[in-house]
Structure 1
Amino acid sequence: MATDPAAFLLSQLEPDADHRDADRLFREAGWQPCGAGDWAIALRSPDGEVVARISPFDPTGPYTAELYRDAAGTGQVPTLFAHQRLAGGGDLQIMEWLREADEADAVAFHALIADGTPEVATLVDSIRRIHTRAQAELPWCGPLDENPSNVMRGGDDRLVLTDPYYADGPALYETAASDPDAVVARIPAEERRFMTEIPLTWSGPWAAEAREEMRRGLDAADARRAPQG
């Protein structure tokens, strides 16, 4: 089966593996880059049927994976073969290969979701229920993402919704730069170790100096917080 090689690779990841370890492991097995966004890169399997989405820092990853599993019966989300959190706040999802959808079709699909029409009612229930919990649990959780690029087509040509949840990057990173103590107080160090290493393919580039300055600010805030336990 197409997923067997991915399952074998996942079994080779150490418990403390981060996004670099995952990226290296899959590339050495012949998986090829096939896309990148602001939060993650994608590697496609040698047979072309499966994709690994690897993020250095993605707080919403577990909620997205939960949606894919919860709404799997609808056929309106990608088929998720595996999900694994990575050290430092990263996220790894193994899913079916998807291709771009026509923008008009994507906009229409988003409209169906926004209206809660019967044909997407089960999907909408899952989206809203999980999003409500994400907003309660996750610092800087953004609203639902209605970007047309988040609607794609599966191998059987069906329309699917991807990545509807996201951390409010502009607000989060602006706070990290201007008030790092606020970020340190709300996101544990282990869950943000690589937050300056997201690709920012669409919103970037992100100067190395700015990344380093943010890291120094967060490190200093961690040091100030350490005496408080």
Structure 2
Amino acid sequence: MTVDEVDALVGADADYRDAERAFLAAGWTPCGVGDWAFALRSPDGQRAVRISPFDPAGPYVAEIYRQAAHTRQVPRLFVHRRLAGGGDLSVMEWLSAVPEPEAVAFHRAIAERAPEVAEVAEVIRRVHERAQAELPWCGPLDVNPDNVMRTADGRLVIADVFSAAGPELYRTAAEDPQLVVARIPEPERRFMADIPLTSSGPWEPGAQEKLMAGLAAADAAITGS
């Protein structure tokens, strides 16, 4: 799937809801939900699209996939683009789960920069270091075994290597929304309360509305409206 094909399917001003509707209409089917995003599988089963309502770290993870593509130890990335409101969309090759001991060993090899994974480990280190300098509330490297997966041709790859520091970011948004408003522009956090939180959630009743109301009030205080 090419950039032009995705752009034809999902308009330039599309948000995550528009993207989901477009892929569903094209025959893609739901195949998974996480904390930050949900995934759909292509009709031929060979690709998946990851769609997030709000994911500041998405461009950095996509950059890891691009820079480390030659190692074949990251997923093959066909398309990455931002969505209106701070969302993120990536079309990648289809991946399958691996046994936990195998995933843990792969994570350990990357952490120790073992020779067989030294190149991908260096790309991860370099891009993550830049994200830590540029991205408010950048999270640590994620050693969740679920992030190590297998491609259709048998390769082990590491996916979703880090994200925004979710607990810290959302706690700050609830307790000090002025700080979040000052550091993340409104167009990049419009759907901040729409992430699924499937693993660490669910959202408490009313929490999403309260969080967005606090951010809106902080925005209004700055603009005077």
Partner of 1:65: helix, strand, or coil?
Answer: helix
Aligned to 2:158: 161
Report the Cα offset of residue 208 of structure 1: 4.4
The counterpart of 2:175, out of the listed 157, 160, 178, is 178
TM-score between both structures, scaled by the size of structure 2: 0.97
Aligned to 1:203: 200
The counterpart of 2:46, out of the listed 45, 49, 73, is 49
Aligned to 2:121: 124
Partner of 1:196: helix, strand, or coil?
Answer: helix
Letter in 2 for 1:93: S
Partner of 1:139: helix, strand, or coil?
Answer: coil
Comparing both structures, which one devotes a greater share of its residues to strand?
Answer: 2
Report the Cα offset of residue 9 of structure 1: 4.0
CA distance in 2, matches of 1:147, 1:64: 15
Q: Structure 2: which 5+ runs fail to align?
A: none
Whether the 8 Å contact between 1:9 and 1:26 is mirrored in structure 2 is: no
Partner of 2:206: helix, strand, or coil?
Answer: helix
Whether the 8 Å contact between 2:149 and 2:159 is mirrored in structure 1 is: yes
Whether the 8 Å contact between 1:110 and 1:146 is mirrored in structure 2 is: yes
Whether the 8 Å contact between 1:101 and 1:153 is mirrored in structure 2 is: yes
Q: Structure 1: which 5+ runs fail to align?
A: none
Letter in 2 for 1:56: P
Aligned to 1:35: 32
Letter in 2 for 1:186: R
Report the Cα offset of residue 7 of structure 1: 5.0
Report the Cα offset of residue 157 of structure 1: 1.2
Report the Cα offset of residue 10 of structure 1: 3.0
- Runs (4+) of structure 1 exceeding 4 A deviation are none
Letter in 2 for 1:29: A
Report the Cα offset of residue 16 of structure 1: 1.1
CA distance in 2, matches of 1:9, 1:156: 25
Whether the 8 Å contact between 2:9 and 2:23 is mirrored in structure 1 is: no
Whether the 8 Å contact between 1:9 and 1:25 is mirrored in structure 2 is: no
Whether the 8 Å contact between 1:65 and 1:83 is mirrored in structure 2 is: yes
Partner of 2:92: helix, strand, or coil?
Answer: strand
Aligned to 1:86: 83
The counterpart of 2:96, out of the listed 95, 99, 115, is 99
1:74 aligns with 2:71: yes
Aligned to 1:135: 132
Aligned residue pairs, count: 225
CA distance in 1, matches of 2:194, 2:45: 27
CA distance in 1, matches of 2:10, 2:20: 11
CA distance in 1, matches of 2:101, 2:70: 25
Report the Cα offset of residue 222 of structure 1: 0.3
